[in-house]
Chains A and B, each alone.
Chain A
Amino acid sequence: MDAEETKPHIVGYSVLFAVWAALLGLTWLTVGLSGTGLGSFVIVAPFLIASVKAFLVVDYFMHLKYESGFFKYILLVVLGMVVVVAWLVYQDVAYRY
């Protein structure tokens, strides 16, 4: 790779504080939605909100946004594996019960 990699991007304090504020806001949202009795939405919404929060942590706190493409590709491979494994397990469960 090139010489740029020895000079990592420095993430500003204000960006990190903004991400933290967003994470707290999303926590408030997900707690507020709890027990509202909206059917399967009650199960799906927390997972969606948690995924947005996880994305914020990974992208900004873990600096993925500022890494080279390779890091993003290996994350995509992992997410692909998550989908495949979940699909296979759900197929198995649906077939058994």
Chain B
Amino acid sequence: MNGTTGAHSHRDYTGSKIGMWLFLFTEFFLFFGPILLYTIFRFRYPQAFIEASRALDTGVGVFNTVLLLTSSLTMALAITAMQKNKKGLTLILLGATVSAGAVFLVNKYFEWGAKISHGIYPGGEALAGNADGGAIFYGLYFFATGLHGIHVLAGMVIIIVAALMVHEGKINSKDFVKLENSGLYWHLVDVIWIYLFPIFYLIR
């Protein structure tokens, strides 16, 4: 009944993963749109984009990048640990992954807060006189990083649910595809940040 009772339970390991990959491809295209728009406007308003980018703190961006890359490592390690039937280690690594995601979002909160308090947000007074480029840059910045932040939050919820299933034994060393698929989602969130970080913080 619970999928772990024996050889005759209905499970399709490869099918589960194909389904997840197809979903991730749709997610990828969701972010590909804004990234494509960025490249177009970067060539139309090069100077305004460089100036707008310089107002972002590269240090915070680097810190968040290292954080997400490390959380991707702990997620991948958690799957290996589960496959090797090390339940305690799996739970510790999943806890580390969720914690890194939480710190990422706290950083993002302060980063956004600092910009918004200076009137830099879609429709804000600081961008009103900068319709050419600057407003487009920050429009894309808030849209893409906001959408990404929602995905980080969703990924954290998914990993917490997966961790509870590991704790209850519903995910175990024989049946771990749900943990793998949770990991795939988290890694996609990381891959998207790998592109968002340079386009907003580094291309200047």
Contact = CB atoms under 8 A, between A and B. Distances in A.
- Report, as a range, how many residues of chain A touch the other chain: 35 or more
Interface in A5-44: 5-6, 8, 10-13, 16-17, 19-20, 23-24, 27, 30-31, 33-35, 42-43
Contacts of A89: 36, 40
A31 B194 contact: no
A27 B62 contact: yes
B42 A43 contact: yes
Interface in A41-97: 42-43, 46-47, 49-50, 53-54, 57-58, 60-63, 67-68, 70-71, 74-75, 78, 81-82, 85-86, 89-90, 93, 97
Contacts of A74: 18, 21-22, 25
Contacts of B184: 62
Most A-side CB within 10 Å, residue of B62, B180, B203: B203
B77 interface: yes
12 contacts: A6-B13, A20-B70, A24-B66, A30-B198, A33-B202, A43-B42, A53-B194, A61-B75, A61-B190, A62-B183, A74-B22, A75-B21
Interface of B: 13-14, 17-18, 21-22, 25, 28-29, 32, 36, 39-40, 42, 44, 58, 62, 65-66, 69-70, 72-73, 75-77, 79-80, 83-84, 180, 183-184, 187-188, 190-191, 194-195, 197-199, 201-204
A89 B201 CA distance: 24
B72 A61 contact: yes
B202 A46 contact: yes
Contact of B198 (A11, A23, A50, A60): A50
Main secondary structure, interface of A, reads helix
Nearest to B41: A93
A93 B36 CA distance: 11
A46 B65 CA distance: 14
A43 B83 CA distance: 41
A10 B81 CA distance: 9
Contact of B204 (A1, A5, A6, A34): A34
